[in-house]
Structure 1
Amino acid sequence: MHVLITGAAGFLGQRLTAALLDRGELNGRALTRLTLVDQIAPVPPAHDDITLDCRAMDITRAGALDSLLGERPEVIYHLAAVVSAAAEADLDLGMAVNFDATRALLEGCRAAGLAETRLVMASSVAVYGGELPTVLDDMTALTPQSSYGAQKAMCELLINDYSRRGLVDGCVLRLPTIVVRPGRPNAAASSFASSILREPLNGEAAVCPVPTDLELFVMSPGRVIEALLHAATLPSDSLAPYRSVMLPGLTVSVAAMLEVLREVGGEEALARVSHEPDPRIEAIVTSWPARFETQRAERLGFVGDRDFHEIVRTFVAEREAS
Structure 2
Amino acid sequence: MHILITGAAGFLGQRLLQQLVARGELCGQPISRFTLVDQSEAAVPETSGIAFDCQALDITAPGAWDAVLEGRPDVIYHLAAVVSSAAEADLDLGMAVNFDATRALLEACRARELGATRLVMASSVAAYGGDLPETLDDMTALQPQNSYGAQKAMCELLINDYSRRGLVDGRVLRLPTIVIRPGRPNAAASSFASSILREPLGGEEAICPVPVEQPLFVMSPGKVVEALVHGAEVDGEALGKFRAFMLPGITVTVAEMLEGLRQVAGDEAVARVRHEPDPRIQAIIASWPARFDTAKADRLGFPGDDDFKQIIDAFVAEQQ
The TM-score normalised by the length of structure 1 is 0.99
Q: Return the offset for 1:96.
A: 0.2
In 1, Cα distance between the equivalents of 2:247 and 2:106?
23
Shift of 1:317: 0.3
- Name 2:315's counterpart in structure 1: 315
Q: Distance in 2 between matches of 1:199 and 1:50?
A: 37
Aligned to 2:189: 189
Question: Deviation at 1:70?
Answer: 2.5
Distance 2:189 2:7 in 1: 19
SS of alignment partner, residue 76 of structure 1? strand
1:141-199 CA distances to partner (integer Å, 9 max, x unpaired)? 00000000000000000000000011000000000000000010010000000000000
The match for 1:4 is 4
Q: For residue 221 of structure 2, what is the aligned residue in structure 1? A: 221
C-alpha displacement of 1:236: 1.2
How many residues align structurally? 320
Separation in structure 2 between the aligned mates of residue 78 and residue 259 of structure 1, nearest angstrom: 35
CA RMSD of aligned residues (A): 0.6
Identity over the aligned pairs, expressed in percent? 71
Q: What SS does the corresponding residue of 2:16 show, helix, strand or coil?
A: helix
**Which residue does 2:232 correspond to in 1?**
232
Distance 2:43 2:201 in 1: 28
Determine if the alignment matches structure 1 residue 286 to structure 2 residue 253. Answer: no
Q: How does 1:1-322 map to 2 (within 5 A)?
A: 1-320=1-320
Q: Which ranges of structure 2 fall in alignment gaps of 5 or more residues?
A: none
Mapped partners of 2:66, 2:118: distance in 1: 17
Structure 1 CA distance for aligned equivalents of residues 16 and 151 of structure 2 = 23
Letter in structure 2 aligned against 1:274: R
Distance 1:106 1:63 in 2: 12
Q: Give the letter for the 2:70 counterpart.
A: G
Q: Report the CA distance between 1:93 and its aligned residue.
A: 0.3
Shift of 1:117: 0.3
1:13-39: CA deviation from partner (whole Å, max 9, x where unpaired): 000011011111111110000110000
Deviates more, 1:154-163 or 1:37-46: 37-46
Could you tell me which runs of 5 or more consecutive residues in structure 1 were left unpaired when the two chains were aligned: none
The one-letter amino acid of 1:224's match is V
Give the secondary-structure state (helix, strand or coil) at the position aligned to 1:119.
strand
Distance 1:229 1:194 in 2: 23
Superposition TM-score, scaled by structure 2 size: 0.99
Residue 233 of structure 1: CA displacement? 0.5
**SS at the partner of 2:233?**
coil
State the SS of the aligned residue for 1:189. coil
4+ runs deviating over 6 angstroms: none
Following TM superposition, by how much is the alpha carbon of 1:68 offset from its aligned partner in structure 2, in angstroms? 2.0
